[in-house]
Amino acid sequence: MPLPFLVSLFEDCTFSRAGGVMVWTIVPEMAHLDARLRAIAPMGYSLVIHVRSLTPEHYVSTYPERWVEIYTERQYAMFDPVNLWARTHSGRIRWSEVPVEKLSPAGTLIMDHAREYGLNYGCGVSRSRIEEYGTLSCLFCAREDRELTDGELEEVEGIFNQLLAAVEAARPLSDIERALLSDLANGLPYKEIAHRQGVSTETIKKRLERIRDLLGARNSVQAVAIATKRGLILNQPASGPE
């Protein structure tokens, strides 16, 4: 099942305005991987990478356009059993293996509605990192004629892992830079951040200049906001007094 994000039509695929096209620019093998997914999933696939607060860093969908519209309008993602499974699991599963009624009272209705658009069989692959980073990534594939074979399931998961690795490798910030932004997001002053990283405050300021350039941010506050939205950092609430 697809997820309810604002999308726009690009060539014969549906993309989010935020990141769909970007996947094609940062993953050199995307055209080949897209072709393989279309062969395995003739009725379409939905890829979301680093979802945070219902906003994905990257989103690609080749599902029937009308189904995506209905799914979005009716907010099916809140009750879609496949989507609910993906939020709490890391792994792969056939749609027929998902405990539909256990996960969602409206699950059967949604699955039946999907079948009206040829989405009879499918699979889901998920990497839930909500507790660590507040992000979720998943790939859903659909067929009209039959269940996916074990080999196809394995290939879909392999493609998904390849895409995640490519996106992660293309991320502009180093671990040190992400730690710097996380500290800023949590309200630490430059002096304390510098002490944590074992450098001078001037070095911290220079690193922030580079980070702003990489993210296209006007200032440090915007840099934190951009990094948070993309799932590059996760704000941690203050622990409070003992």
pLDDT score of 237: 40
- In this predicted model, which residue has the larger pLDDT, 232 or 194? 194
Strands (E) located in 109-231: 121-129, 135-143
Would you list the DSSP string of 93-113? EEGGGS-HHHH-TTHHHHHHH
- Residue 130's pLDDT band, with cuts at 50, 70 and 90, is confident
Average pLDDT of the chain to the nearest whole number: 84
Q: Quick one: tokens of 202?
A: 């001037």
| pLDDT above 50 for 44 | yes
pTM higher than 0.75 for the full model?
no
Domain with CATH 3.30.450.80 in the chain: 7-169
Topology (CATH) of 7-169: Beta-Lactamase (3.30.450)
Bridge-based pairing of strands 7-10 and 91-94 is unpaired
CATH of 175-229, one of 3.10.20.30, 1.10.10.10, 3.40.50.300, 3.30.1280.10: 1.10.10.10
